[in-house]
Amino acid sequence: MIPDSFIQELLARVDIVDVVERYVPLKKAGANYQACCPFHSEKTPSFTVSPAKQFFHCFGCGAHGSAVGFVMQYAGLGFVEAVEELANSLGMPVPREVGAHSQQKAQQAPLTERMARAAQFYKDQLKASPKAIDYLKRRGLTGEIAARYGLGFAPDDWQGLQQIFDDYHSPALVECGLVIENEQGRRYDRFRDRVMFPIQDQRGNVIGFGGRVLGPGEPKYLNSPETPLFHKGQELYGLPQARKEIQQQNMVIVVEGYMDVVGLAQNGIVNVVATLGTATTGVNVQRLVRLADRVVFCFDRDSAGDRAARRTMEISLEHLVDGKSVEILQLDGTQDPDEFVREHGKEAFVNQTQNATRLSDFFVRKLIQDCNTSTAEGRAKLVSDAKPLLQKISAPVLRVQISKEIARHAQLSQAELEAQCGLKPLARYRAAPPPNRLRPAPNALERTLLIAVLHRPERAARLPLDLIAQDNAEGAALTAVAEAIDHAALAGGNLGLMIEYFRGSPHEEVIAMLSGQIEENAGDEGEQENVFIDSMERLRARALSRQIDELNARARAGTLTTAERQMLTGLLAQKRA
């Protein structure tokens, strides 16, 4: 694991303008630099690089991050490889240590090291196993693809891993899912006599494995269990290898099996990932629509594939974004993607993806299949079945388009359908009231303060931390930023440093999301400072109101002491002042 102190030193020495210009020609535009975005197609430059913040942001597609993040996205590298790339350009040797700035990282570090050793063991075993090599060759895979995806082989040995782990009875091996301990306390390897597919996180660390039997046997695929490192509903197999091609094509193909990923890659179709476990999750969909404008889910054309496609459609509805396309592909015949591409070739598979069914069409078609729209009862059932699904759709314009189609088949007007389903017509949305009339959401103050601190990290020293709510993501992140700066674990510095410091932490998502908003809502420095000061005053006022509410509640219950009554009087006077 690369120490956080080295990441900070690297980002302090590297200039993001120089880094980006290695790949994209930049032009000076005021205090910043501009270019046409390398991550999506555009004619007018909307991609900016800030030397002051050491941060890039695209106003078109929303891509943003530090110098490390840019190299990861542009070159399709994992975190470790991107750090090494930047360090090599500066002649800085990359140290390797087990250490972390948080308890979570400290817990994960030794597990990550064990998973890496296991992955290397499985790779070595593959080289020594003629039957595993023969199996992969029969599946059409070359040594190059096996090496790119780090494929390995778990020998048919109950305690094969004892060859590399002297502490085979360490609890850590059970914790990271490599070893199983039965009720009698006996231990054995989880994976035996299987081709091994290592699953990597965004930093390139091995966090889990999938194992496939070589012949008949159940289960055909065996996955690592849930561990401190591995959460199958959040990961995508093959993403580190596919990231660059996904960006270039602005499209990601999602399949159901590890072998489908490597089989398609063998045939030149690299922009492919696989979900882990039995079903696509909301986290998967959110991640996929951020990766590309077009997401194609590929399922078998059988009853199980139909059910999986339907589940994926329903899960996707809550995460749809206008301007992005989620599609369903069910291949002709009974072949899975790996078998199809081996028999018919790359061009035939690509043609299939080009004819995938858009989720909107799939949605309407599946609902109509279950209803007899030639009768009034069938049309009523159509509306009843569509209602909970329409209410889930997060993309407002797409929801209107689908509603029109459902209304047509139900022989209703769009307004009638929307009324029956409790949907607000898009054209009738009322303009938002002025900001001073809006009642702030519970975490609105923490959100505003976090944006202000991300813009100017030195503001963290002025925060009244005891008044910041910790039960929301923004408040927890705000406290973490302030404490990191206060303890000198994070130099005040720039936004790029901040993003990389919290990469892999529970605060990464909210900090990354709000970092993009900083550039899009950048305004006058004086105005931003006034917003920061006003938000702190409102924070204190909120705390005062809560204290008064608590004392009033005790007064109504008749449990208020004399001292507390005097305190309440003073607080009420303070509030009126």
How does residue 572 score in pLDDT terms, banded at 50, 70 and 90? confident
What is the mean pLDDT of the segment spanning 197-209? 88
pLDDT of 426 > 80? The answer is no
User: Which helix (H) or strand (E) is 202 found in, with range?
Assistant: none
Phi, psi of 225 (to 5 degrees): -75, 175
Structure tokens at 360: 């909107």
pLDDT of 435 > 60? The answer is no
What is the mean pLDDT of the segment spanning 508-519? 78
DSSP class of residue 127 equals: H
Please, are residues 553 and 568 in contact by the beta-carbon 8 Å criterion?
Answer: no
pTM over 0.85: no
pLDDT of 100 > 70? The answer is no
What confidence score (pLDDT) does residue 576 get? 73
Q: Give buried/exposed letters for 506-544 (b at 16+ CB in 10 A, else e).
A: ebbebbeebbbbbbeeeeeeeebeebbeebbeebeeeee
What confidence score (pLDDT) does residue 418 get? 92
Report the C-alpha gap between 19 and 89 in whole angstroms.
Answer: 9
Same fold flag, 4-90 and 234-363: no
- Please tell me which of 261-270, 282-291, 309-318, 463-472 the model is most confident about, judged by mean pLDDT: 261-270
pLDDT of 341 > 80? The answer is yes
What confidence score (pLDDT) does residue 9 get? 85
What is the mean pLDDT of the segment spanning 297-326? 89
- Please tell me which of 100-104, 209-213, 492-496 the model is most confident about, judged by mean pLDDT: 209-213
- Mean pLDDT for all residues in the chain: 85
Domain boundaries, the chain: 4-90, 103-230, 234-363, 370-427, 442-557
CATH 3.90.580.10 fits 4-90, yes or no: yes
Residues 6+ apart with CB under 8 A from 326: 285, 289, 295, 297, 316, 320, 358, 359
Report the C-alpha gap between 51 and 11 in whole angstroms.
Answer: 12
pLDDT of 24 > 80? The answer is yes
Report the C-alpha gap between 316 and 280 in whole angstroms.
Answer: 9
* Residue 399: alpha-carbon gap to chain centroid: 24
What is the mean pLDDT of the segment spanning 254-265? 95
What is the mean pLDDT of the segment spanning 175-204? 93
Residues 6+ apart with CB under 8 A from 36: 24, 42, 43, 44, 45, 46, 47
Q: Apex CA 150: angle with CA 149 and CA 156, to 5°?
A: 125
Least confident of 175-184, 352-361, 390-399: 390-399
CATH topology of domain 234-363: Dna Topoisomerase Vi A Subunit; Chain: A, domain 2 (3.40.1360)
What confidence score (pLDDT) does residue 432 get? 39
What confidence score (pLDDT) does residue 568 get? 78
Report the C-alpha gap between 401 and 414 in whole angstroms.
Answer: 10
CATH topology of domain 103-230: DNA primase DNAg catalytic core, N-terminal domain (3.90.980)
How does residue 437 score in pLDDT terms, banded at 50, 70 and 90? very low
> How many other CB atoms are found less than 10 A from the CB of residue 302?
11
CATH node for 442-557: 1.10.860.10
What is the mean pLDDT of the segment spanning 307-316? 92
Q: Which CATH number fits domain 370-427: 1.10.287, 3.90.320, 1.10.10, 1.20.50?
A: 1.20.50
What confidence score (pLDDT) does residue 99 get? 40
518-555: pLDDT as tens digits: 766 665 667 778 888 888 888 888 888 888 888 888 88
Distances (CA, A) of 437 to 440, 542, 543: 9, 17, 20
Question: What is the number of alpha carbons within 13 Å of residue 453 lying toward its C-beta?
Answer: 30
What confidence score (pLDDT) does residue 488 get? 61
What confidence score (pLDDT) does residue 442 get? 45
Question: What is the number of alpha carbons within 13 Å of residue 119 lying toward its C-beta?
Answer: 24
What confidence score (pLDDT) does residue 96 get? 67
What confidence score (pLDDT) does residue 520 get? 61
Residues 6+ apart with CB under 8 A from 148: 241, 265
360-379: pLDDT as tens digits: 999 999 999 989 999 999 99
Considering only residues 154 and 474, tell me which one the structure prediction assigns the higher pLDDT: 154
Considering only residues 65 and 262, tell me which one the structure prediction assigns the higher pLDDT: 262
pLDDT of 107 > 60? The answer is no
What confidence score (pLDDT) does residue 101 get? 41
What confidence score (pLDDT) does residue 158 get? 96
What confidence score (pLDDT) does residue 503 get? 80
Burial class, 481, CB count within 10 angstroms (exposed 0-12 / middle 13-18 / buried 19+): buried
Strands 294-299 and 325-330, by their bridges, are: parallel
